[in-house]
Structure 1
């Protein structure tokens, strides 16, 4: 007689992906595309920041609604939400800077405070910040709010260092790449807490990706390669689509109690 399969309660299945090499690669591609796609829509297509922000926010709300309607991780829906929230996060910072005249340093400080407060509330309400236990609507709401703040913060910090402080896109990218390498080393060599390691790396991949996107897309007069926002966005979109398809065929549900794999 065949063994009866174990029935897993839907509410105990994680709604976000495992932390693997593919996760970090697609995350970096998504944040890079968010930077270039926002610039393309607002500048190259001539929609302007306000119209672009309204359109992309409306689309993001639809994608997040689809994500919340799921009771498990569905790769294409989850990563669609990540790409869109990356674009919107960029637009939030750009609007504050260009339309409201808020200095990038002020935006960086404000988003840092918002991020810390969200983490504190999440920890107080749920008792954990682990992404391996996102199986309720409230935890998922905290998760996506944190993701939005990391993208807006990363845009502000990346632009602040590369443009205002004058380090340029390559140097800025190397700075954040080095910071992520230090975090990874501390995690593996000195057993830095897995949850802390994950969120620190997650936060710093945003300015790294933004610097990479700006370097590839911006004209050579501004220190870039001059590939343009449309070609850069399409290139990263193709890579994202390929990885998502791969993930879709290799996905296994992650249930509560899975071990932390923050920087695998």
Structure 2
């Protein structure tokens, strides 16, 4: 382990945690895309079948409960982490829709607003921690910054996807293609010319939201709106099943665990805190 990090941990052991986020693998991106799509269509399904105020309230309570579980966990637990992501997806969709439908704010304005909010979160996070790397989510404060950024990316991605699909009249399928191309840019840039890893990660993370949401909307929406007419319920159910299977696979194989073995051993020895790192 890096000696500087070791000294920092020894100087304030109760402050440090094992990594609470997954390793970035192909499985991460697949599940991320599925959760964005599932959150989009399930949010629409809830709003159509129960009172919107009750739906938003329930979504907020479930999000708060899942975050409580995540912050209480001593290490990365796949089902808890992805439960939070799903709830952020559902609630983020509702938040973006409320801004447009209830408050009457255009998708262009809400997209700009959420983009500005995300920039502010990143700026404050970087000023406080000197890094935006997800490989350094090993303190409570960094974990708070991380989830604030995730929530902002989901709201931004939802507003941007709706803006291109409706305001710019591209439709859901064309919007999905546009954002899929944008999503591919950082991946190619990182592989081919060594673009900044942290910057490309967060750009790709933002783009996965409108990609997943646009294609799920296209599949679920009726033919009159340019969709395939499958319906929000069936699409939500199928995506949920796939997500559960993949999370089970991750839990069994531990392919997405990035915990340091030394820190992991010390955590087990000291009931959740790290008292010494050799």
TM-score by length of 2: 0.86
Question: Structure 1 residue 10: deviation in Å?
Answer: 9.5
Equivalent residue for 2:27, pick from 5, 12, 22: 22
Residue in 2 aligned with 1:146? 149
Q: Following the alignment from structure 2 to structure 1, what is the Cα–Cα distance between the partners of residues 158 and 46?
A: 16
Task: Tell me whether 1:60 sits opposite 2:68 in the alignment.
Answer: no
Question: Structure 1 residue 9: deviation in Å?
Answer: 9.1
Q: Is the 2:15–2:139 Cα contact (8 Å) retained in structure 1? A: no
Question: Structure 1 residue 255: deviation in Å?
Answer: 2.9
Q: Deviations over 1:67-92 (max 9, x none)?
A: 00012100000000100110000000
Residue in 2 aligned with 1:40? 45
Question: Structure 1 residue 23: deviation in Å?
Answer: 0.2
Question: Number of matched residues?
Answer: 248
Residue in 1 aligned with 2:137? 134
Give the alignment of 1:89-238 within 5 angstroms.
89-238=92-241
Q: Is the 1:35–1:87 Cα contact (8 Å) retained in structure 2? A: yes
Structure 2 gap ranges (5+): 1-12, 263-278
Q: Following the alignment from structure 2 to structure 1, what is the Cα–Cα distance between the partners of residues 229 and 176?
A: 17
**Structure 1 residues 225 and 18 mapped into 2: Cα distance closer, same or farther (>3 Å)?**
same
Structure 1 runs of 4+ with >4 Å offset = none
Q: Following the alignment from structure 1 to structure 2, what is the Cα–Cα distance between the partners of residues 9 and 104?
A: 43
TM-score by length of 1: 0.91
Work out which of the two has the higher radius of gyration on C-alpha atoms and give 1 or 2. 2
Q: Deviations over 1:138-184 (max 9, x none)?
A: 10111111111111111100000011111111111111111111111
Question: Structure 1 residue 256: deviation in Å?
Answer: 9.8
**Structure 1 residues 254 and 10 mapped into 2: Cα distance closer, same or farther (>3 Å)?**
farther
Aligned partner of residue 159 in structure 1, secondary structure: helix
Q: What is the RMSD of the two structures over their aligned residues, measured on CA atoms?
A: 1.7
Aligned partner of residue 210 in structure 1, secondary structure: helix
Q: Following the alignment from structure 1 to structure 2, what is the Cα–Cα distance between the partners of residues 240 and 82?
A: 11
Aligned partner of residue 154 in structure 1, secondary structure: helix
Give the alignment of 1:66-81 within 5 angstroms.
66-81=69-84
Q: Is the 1:132–1:256 Cα contact (8 Å) retained in structure 2? A: no
Structure 1 gap ranges (5+): 1-7, 258-264
Question: Structure 1 residue 12: deviation in Å?
Answer: 4.3
